[in-house]
Structure 1
């Protein structure tokens, strides 16, 4: 039951943030949520837990500078997830 409650809370939160930031219609909310959760999971487990939200922010900034932010965000998330998957915690890339 907690999982359903968490999913509902997340959905409501994302809807409120999208509205507050004026992003209605600018992105596929469900796809973005899954992408960000996957990206931050990869970074948290492969690199550093505190690095996960910082990475999501950096990907968002980079995507926001692109001509097509939604496409760029997916591309950057895949690229950074691959980087995290190959990351050696002792020595970097």
Structure 2
């Protein structure tokens, strides 16, 4: 599968899932995909590979409780990416400066 066909398949999948969950129009799929991929990459490389999808799920849960879930998801993703960047996987805590 070429990168362009992979991107097309992902876009179609996100649109289908959004429709199935009643989220059509609630999020910009391209921006959301980029945000989630960046977040999960940060977690997978800085913390733990299996932690990446779990983290995305937890951010989705938290954002769903907010007054503006799309804005909250973006803010939470940035916050958690910073946490992952500073994470010490050896000690399971934030790295000391």
- Bin of the TM-score, shorter chain as denominator length: over 0.9
Which residue in 1 is equivalent to 2:68? 68
Query: Deviations for 1:25-69, whole angstroms, at most 9, x for unmatched residues?
Result: 111111110000000000000000000000000000000000100
Structure number with higher strand proportion? 2
Structure number with higher helix proportion? 1
Count of residues paired in the alignment: 93
Higher RCO, 1 vs 2 (CA within 8 Å, ≥6 residues apart): 1
* Shift >2 Å, 4+ stretches: none
Q: What 5-or-longer segments of structure 2 have no aligned partner?
A: none
Which residue in 1 is equivalent to 2:11? 11
Q: TM-score, normalised by structure 1?
A: 0.97
CA-atom RMSD, angstroms? Answer: 0.9
Quote the offset at 1:81 in angstroms.
Answer: 0.1
Quote the offset at 1:2 in angstroms.
Answer: 1.3
